[in-house]
Chains A and B, each alone.
Chain A
Amino acid sequence: MAAPMLRWSCLGKRWVLACIDGGSRHGRGAAIGCTSRRKRGQSSVAQQPLITVQKSRKGEHEWAAVVGLEIHAQISSNSKLFSGSQVHFAAPPNSLVSFFDASLPGTLPVLNRRCVEAAVMTGLALNCRINKKSLFDRKHYFYADLPAGYQITQQRLPIAVNGSLAYSVSVGKKPSQVSTRTVRIKQIQLEQDSGKSLHDELRSQTLIDLNRAGVGLLEVVLEPDMSCGEEAASAVRELQLILQALGTSQANMAEGQLRVDANVSVHHPGEPLGVRTEVKNLNSTRFLAKAIDSEIKRQIHELENGRKILNETRSFDYKLGCTMPMRDKEGKQDYRFMPEPNLPPLLLYDTASLPPGADPQQVINIDWIRDRLPELPGKTREKLIQKYGMLPEHSFALLNEVGLLEFFQNVIKETGAEPKKVTSWVLNIFLGFLKQQNLAVNESPVTPSALAELLNLLDRKAISSSAARQVFEELWRSKGKTPSQIVSEKKLELMQDQEALERVCHTVMEGHPQVVMDMKRGNPRAINKLIGLVRKATLSRADPTVIKEILERKLLS
């Protein structure tokens, strides 16, 4: 038998398809191009309220929920898994379809090397055992957006198995109480994506877009080691960060590059697992958590009322906030798996097993890939904590936004300010502004250099904290100005002239004898009033700590 052939990306031919008449009663196909709703800040996950999973009533056992996940991540690659057509999100319908993607008879799959490398990288990053030999299978079902009538996947012998994923969830009331958990990874398999169906109920027809058909997917199967929506969402979030760090998937849930199905069941601890349902169509981590928790609640409610849980597929209705049975998945599917005869076994090598004289373009060396793995989020956080004395939750927050860590590091490079100060500014003020305006880090009007300069001014005590805040707001509004320019334009610099400040203090004290009396009598709030008055007189350009020093000195004299 021939050795596996690996294909380098090449341009695919175009194939335009006509629409299909004949309505369909399915509900599966999502509308094409539903991207207007932009999603940022998946960090809301950690703040999800925990649903009471365990419910105890008199004389009753507690309930425990068991959650497993099947995650499909679209591989970030120029071309599809088995054909040379290009991969682009939101390209005109049926503009990225090769003869193979349209399943023209006689066409054959040719494995894309990039997708195999992505699977190996992901497997290594998730502590999996990489199978040096893996196989491809056909999974059969009839659906309009599956042109061949089967999907090529890896059912019998997947490329990676037995891994683990560590993730953190907040426990207790304070966000700083983070606990690390681990979920086992059963396997990672390479498979084809399907096309998309668009059901036009009005004209009773279904339109098919095959642009997505044949795009490479990594199916990551997480063992049922989770017990609530928040855990599942945190695990998915961590996986998302890992995939993004590796560059193996853009993993954007809103764009469908990361799709999650959850298997949910409930049982009494110590008893066998309950009947599970599969919850589909979860397009954000927030809805994932909500869907799982509502499904857990529903199952407990059903069982407590003496009803049974059916082994069925349900979808999450985000408007109603609960799961509903999916109509088109009624009845048992038999996928009639069969080995894919047109693809020889996929063979991988390590340095020890590499055949001598092998063409490096034709073989994949696992060790070579391992040596070149980028730093993973867990390691990055660890380093942040060590290097900057950062709180763990801050390290999470920095990694949670695309580009935020890089922004932070660029600020640090150019400022002498304390890392804690930088962290606080980046996470509180900078991120707050971004969130408020629903912007991504790379869309920010404030550059890292500008923020660094601002923090330098603050650090040198050239401006007060409140002035700094004002400068920041101004920076956000008027792009192009430097902090120093704004400080001088707005006359925000602190009064450096000690004598002048002493004169102002003296005048204020003389003008408010009653307050001075109160202070002398020991009223602690009186000094604050005086400080306020001095600041007002200096148009907020004086440092309150310095004012306080002067006032206290003058009182004693």
Chain B
Amino acid sequence: MLGRTLREVSTALKQGHITPTELCQKCLSLIKKTKFLNAYITVSEEVALKQAEESEKRYKKGHSLGDLDGIPVAVKDNFSTSSIETTCASNMLKGYVPPYNATVVQKLLDKGAVLMGKTNLDEFAMGSGSTNGVFGPVKNPWSYSKQHREKRKQKAHGENEDSNWLITGGSSGGSVAAAAAFTCFAALGSDTGGLTRNPAPHCGVVGFKPSYGLVSHHGLIPLVNSMDVPGILTRCVDDAAIVLGMLAGHDPKDSTTIQDPVKPFTLPTSADVNKLCTGIPKEYLAPELSSEVRSFWSKAANLFESEGAKVIEVSLPHASYSVVCYHALCTSEVASNMARFDGLEYGHRCDINVSTEAMYAATRWEGFNDVVRGRILSGNFFLLKENYENYFIKAQKVRQLIANDFVNVFNSEVDVLLTPTTLSEAVPYLEFIKEDNRTRSAQDDIFTQAVNMAGLPAVSVPVALSNQGLPIGLQFIGRAFCDQLLLTIAKWFEKQVQFPVIQLQELMDDCSSDFEIEKLSSVSLKQ
């Protein structure tokens, strides 16, 4: 049951094959068994069971709230959740219990979803590994998959398997791992520079970033306000569309959300790519791109062409400036957003009380890690009067140029862009930590950042397994507010590639009855 998609399990709930409480308990027990993944910071067991119970009552009365009623979901620990600790994986917010729900969390709860817990991340979502949070790194469930283990055994015998686990990518690693390890049916991440889409392909799940303004970011503890978008992580594209339908729309608490009413997002079961024009940005053919990813990318392009779509090379001439531009804008907003963490109203406060200034300094020193402090320092440097024109203003202009690149491409005949999501498959932790956070973030977000700067919708879809038996994903980028078309194309593509399901039964023998893995692969891939 746990291995099913959201839509399938929703049907099972409606038909009474399983009750919300049973489903919740199965997820809770799996969360406990997969604790070593470190996907969750807080497991809200009591709340979840209570919500499941209420959902069960509704089902009994025949008053179900819809597709999400009774569905276990997980939420990244940078979304405010009323009466559930929200830490951002930082000492600064350890013990902070918000008095309100983020709009997206409230919307999920209003639709009857069952909140399993808050998922792990890089501190304040600053990172691309989900490795630097104060609660430790998230481990990629694929490290323990049958597919990967078999491949690795063939290559290196006698290697210490336990120390060779892989990272998920970040910063929404906890949400991605939670969805990939079947502990929930959908998870919320946050996507600022690709933080939802970056880890998704590493864990073989769908990572969707909606258009900026389509989904409220009220209650999402900000990284870069002008780019932050709640991201949706699911095991298939259809599920992402269901969740988007629940979350999208104007929020009176977020002035950047669209005013126009939003139509429900239902994807057609069969799509016709005949009249579609797919653009391949030539600048994305980076030298660092792994040959495997490149090969899947071109296979995907061929697939579109063979099905009658037009595939053309396009140019995003300013793409190469995106990394530095992002750095200046991101750190500036970070410096500003982090100013509120002074130990007065909430969060960590040091013991020093010599003066207000000394208290600020010590509190912030103790509360933030090196990465956060480093970004605050750079950001404040860029915002200084003497630097503002040279850095911040220039970066804003470059951001506009990058956004214009996309506008130009979409104003020609292109409907959707097809790009890699990441340079390669997931890397082992020991490999990953050889580089510092800044270098890593700059490397790992190159295909995803530009989309955030332009506010466009994008989705990463898992494609196939690498030689290492690890997932590889590709990204589709759509026109602003054409999220439905984008997801329709992604769904069509997903159906063509038949990505295999993760096989974790070795690890969780006693759960095998819950998984029904063999049956599953036929269920989720052939609709």
A104 touches B336 (CB 8 A): no
A142 touches B255 (CB 8 A): no
B344 touches A4 (CB 8 A): no
Of A107-115, A301-309, A537-545, the stretch lying at the interface with chain B is A107-115
Given A140-B339, A144-B356, A344-B256: A106 and B383 interface contact (C-beta under 8 Å): no
Given A104-B98, A106-B98, A140-B383: A23 and B353 interface contact (C-beta under 8 Å): yes
Complex Cα spacing A5 to B218, Å: 14
| A359: nearest chain-B partner, CB-CB | B259
B356 touches A99 (CB 8 A): no
| Nearest Cβ on chain B to A312's Cβ, whole angstroms | 19
Q: Is the interface of B mostly helix, strand, loop or mixed?
A: loop
Within A327-362, which residues are at the interface with B (CB < 8 Å)?
334, 336-338, 341-344, 362
Complex Cα spacing A2 to B215, Å: 12
Of A127-135, A145-153, A231-239, the stretch lying at the interface with chain B is A145-153
User: Is B61's CB within 8 Å of the partner chain A?
Assistant: no
A336 touches B258 (CB 8 A): no
B355 touches A25 (CB 8 A): yes
User: Is A556's CB within 8 Å of the partner chain B?
Assistant: no
B225 touches A148 (CB 8 A): no
Residues of B close to A15: CB separation below 8 A: 99
Contact with A along B233-250 (1 / 0, CB 8 A): 000000000000000001
Q: For the complex, count residues of B whose C-beta is within 8 A of A.
A: 54
Residues of B close to A2: CB separation below 8 A: 213, 250, 255-259
Complex Cα spacing A341 to B516, Å: 47
Residues of A close to B346: CB separation below 8 A: 102, 104-105
A144 touches B336 (CB 8 A): no
Contact with A along B324-343 (1 / 0, CB 8 A): 00000000110110111110
| Nearest Cβ on chain B to A114's Cβ, whole angstroms | 16
Residue among A25, A99, A109 with the highest chain B CB neighbour number at 10 A: A99
Work out how many contacts link A and B, with CB atoms closer than 8 A. 136
User: Is B388's CB within 8 Å of the partner chain A?
Assistant: yes
Complex Cα spacing A523 to B335, Å: 93
User: Is A269's CB within 8 Å of the partner chain B?
Assistant: no
Which residue from A22, A106, A108, A148 sits with its C-beta under 8 Å from B355? A22
A105 touches B221 (CB 8 A): yes
Which residue from B226, B255, B335, B380 sits with its C-beta under 8 Å from A111? B255
| Nearest Cβ on chain B to A2's Cβ, whole angstroms | 5
A99 touches B100 (CB 8 A): yes
| Nearest Cβ on chain A to B41's Cβ, whole angstroms | 16
User: Is B360's CB within 8 Å of the partner chain A?
Assistant: yes
B256 touches A342 (CB 8 A): yes
User: Is B384's CB within 8 Å of the partner chain A?
Assistant: yes
Complex Cα spacing A204 to B102, Å: 38
User: Is B254's CB within 8 Å of the partner chain A?
Assistant: yes
Residues of B close to A108: CB separation below 8 A: 217-218, 253-256
Which residue from A102, A110, A338 sits with its C-beta under 8 Å from B383? A338
User: Is A444's CB within 8 Å of the partner chain B?
Assistant: no
A22 touches B335 (CB 8 A): no
User: Is B431's CB within 8 Å of the partner chain A?
Assistant: no
User: Is B93's CB within 8 Å of the partner chain A?
Assistant: yes
User: Is B478's CB within 8 Å of the partner chain A?
Assistant: no
Within B23-82, which residues are at the interface with A (CB < 8 Å)?
79-80
User: Is B385's CB within 8 Å of the partner chain A?
Assistant: yes
B336 touches A5 (CB 8 A): no
User: Is B252's CB within 8 Å of the partner chain A?
Assistant: yes
Given A25-B355, A337-B383: A104 and B100 interface contact (C-beta under 8 Å): yes
Complex Cα spacing A138 to B218, Å: 18
Residues of A close to B383: CB separation below 8 A: 140, 336-338
Residues of B close to A149: CB separation below 8 A: 336, 338-340, 342
User: Is B219's CB within 8 Å of the partner chain A?
Assistant: yes
A206 touches B213 (CB 8 A): no
Given A1-B213, A21-B353, A22-B352: A104 and B345 interface contact (C-beta under 8 Å): yes
Complex Cα spacing A109 to B333, Å: 16
| Nearest Cβ on chain B to A200's Cβ, whole angstroms | 13
B100 touches A336 (CB 8 A): no
Residue among B93, B332, B356 with the highest chain A CB neighbour number at 10 A: B356
B335 touches A336 (CB 8 A): yes
| B385: nearest chain-A partner, CB-CB | A334
B255 touches A148 (CB 8 A): no
Q: Is the interface of A mostly helix, strand, loop or mixed?
A: loop
Residues of A close to B340: CB separation below 8 A: 103, 105, 147-149
Residues of B close to A107: CB separation below 8 A: 218-219
B222 touches A1 (CB 8 A): no
User: Is A3's CB within 8 Å of the partner chain B?
Assistant: yes
| Nearest Cβ on chain A to B202's Cβ, whole angstroms | 27
User: Is B195's CB within 8 Å of the partner chain A?
Assistant: no
Which residue from A4, A24, A341 sits with its C-beta under 8 Å from B356? A24
| A6: nearest chain-B partner, CB-CB | B255
Within A1-30, which residues are at the interface with B (CB < 8 Å)?
1-5, 7, 13, 15, 17, 20-26
User: Is A208's CB within 8 Å of the partner chain B?
Assistant: yes
| Nearest Cβ on chain B to A371's Cβ, whole angstroms | 27
Complex Cα spacing A341 to B220, Å: 14
B336 touches A138 (CB 8 A): yes
Given A106-B220, A148-B339: A208 and B98 interface contact (C-beta under 8 Å): no
B342 touches A142 (CB 8 A): yes
| A15: nearest chain-B partner, CB-CB | B99
A99 touches B339 (CB 8 A): no
Residue among A21, A23, A105, A344 with the highest chain B CB neighbour number at 10 A: A105
Complex Cα spacing A25 to B340, Å: 21
Given A22-B356, A337-B383: A5 and B339 interface contact (C-beta under 8 Å): no
A106 touches B356 (CB 8 A): no
A336 touches B218 (CB 8 A): no
Which residue from A26, A341, A343, A362 sits with its C-beta under 8 Å from B333? A341
Given A106-B98, A110-B253, A138-B336: A22 and B80 interface contact (C-beta under 8 Å): no
Residue among A4, A107, A140, A142 with the highest chain B CB neighbour number at 10 A: A107
User: Is B392's CB within 8 Å of the partner chain A?
Assistant: yes
Contact with A along B96-108 (1 / 0, CB 8 A): 0011101000000
| Nearest Cβ on chain A to B514's Cβ, whole angstroms | 35
Complex Cα spacing A344 to B220, Å: 18
Residues of A close to B257: CB separation below 8 A: 2
| Nearest Cβ on chain B to A156's Cβ, whole angstroms | 11
A142 touches B225 (CB 8 A): no
Within A280-331, which residues are at the interface with B (CB < 8 Å)?
none
User: Is B1's CB within 8 Å of the partner chain A?
Assistant: no
Given A24-B355, A138-B336, A338-B392: A106 and B360 interface contact (C-beta under 8 Å): no
Residues of B close to A102: CB separation below 8 A: 345-346
Residues of B close to A104: CB separation below 8 A: 80, 98-100, 345-346
| Nearest Cβ on chain A to B353's Cβ, whole angstroms | 3
B255 touches A344 (CB 8 A): yes
Complex Cα spacing A23 to B100, Å: 32
Residues of A close to B335: CB separation below 8 A: 336
Contact with A along B376-391 (1 / 0, CB 8 A): 0000100111001000
Which residue from B99, B256, B360 sits with its C-beta under 8 Å from A1? B256
Given A21-B353, A23-B353, A105-B340: A334 and B256 interface contact (C-beta under 8 Å): no
Contact with A along B205-236 (1 / 0, CB 8 A): 00000000100011111101110000000000
Which residue from B218, B353, B388 sits with its C-beta under 8 Å from A106? B218
Q: Which 8 A-B pairs have the closest CB atoms?
A: A149-B339, A22-B353, A336-B383, A341-B225, A341-B226, A105-B221, A5-B255, A106-B219
Please name 18 pairs of A and B residues whose Cβ atoms are closer than 8 Å in the assembled complex, sorted by A: A13-B99, A22-B356, A102-B346, A103-B340, A105-B80, A105-B341, A108-B253, A108-B254, A110-B254, A140-B339, A142-B360, A147-B340, A336-B336, A337-B383, A338-B332, A338-B392, A342-B255, A362-B259
Supply 9 further A-B pairs (C-beta < 8 A) apart from A150-B339, A336-B388. A2-B256, A22-B353, A99-B99, A103-B345, A104-B98, A105-B340, A204-B353, A341-B224, A343-B256
Q: List residues of chain A with CB under 8 Å of any chain B CB.
A: 1-5, 7, 13, 15, 17, 20-26, 99, 102-111, 138, 140, 142, 144, 147-150, 204, 206, 208, 334, 336-338, 341-344, 362
